[in-house]
Structure 1
Amino acid sequence: MYRASDHVDNEEYIEELQEAADRLDLGTEARSRAEDVFLSNLPESSRSKRATVASSLYVGALVAGDQRSQRAVADAVGVSRLSVQQRWKELLETVGFDAPDW
């Protein structure tokens, strides 16, 4: 869970998340889940926040059944695909799902 102040303190990243979701044409549920995942897993460094935005979008879309490729999500946020690949399973597990073994 996160505090309301987390949303205010990270408004620029939430805006970036929503803009990337627009580019990916994600639905409302995927956007909402991605935002919750991001705010529940805030990293300390600004550099890590952009990768977490991308990974949160990937997880939000996956959980909502609106899946996009890691490459598409990474491109929409402007990070490497490796950034998404390295973080998404951990984030998926933080929201209560088991990551697949593939």
Structure 2
Amino acid sequence: MHSARDRLEYEPWLAELEQVADRLELTQEARSCAAELFLMDVPDADRSKRAVLAASIYAGALVAGEGCTQGTVADAADVSRLSIQTRWKDRLEEAGLEPPRW
């Protein structure tokens, strides 16, 4: 679980999450879930933060039942689809959620 201090420390990244979510027209449920997934385990390296942010958005959209593809999220977040593909399942599993088995 994260603290209020985490929200303050990562406020610029949460603002970026909101901007990407706006581009994707995500609901508040998906945004909230994505923020929780992101804050759950933020990497130290700034380079990795963007990829984890995008993976969290994709996973949050899945949890909320919204139909975003990895490619759509990748384009909106300015990362590669592979960045999302290699991280989103871990985000869900770390949160205690079971990823879909398509």
What TM-score, normalized by structure 1, do the two folds share?
0.95
SS at 1:84 equivalent: helix
**CA distance in 2 between partners of 1:99 and 1:40 (Å):** 17
> Where in structure 2 are the equivalents of 1:50-89 lying within 5 Å?
50-89=50-89
**CA RMSD for the aligned pairs?**
0.9
SS at match of 2:86: helix
Question: Which structure 2 residues correspond to residues 1-102 of structure 1 after superposition, within 5 A?
Answer: 1-102=1-102
Q: For residue 59 of structure 2, what is the amino acid of its counterpart?
A: V
Stretches of 4+ moved more than 4 A in 1? none
Give % identity.
51
For 1:30 and 1:72, locate their aligned partners in 2 and report how far apart those are by CA, in whole Å. 15
Q: How many residue pairs were aligned?
A: 102
- 1:18 alignment partner AA: E
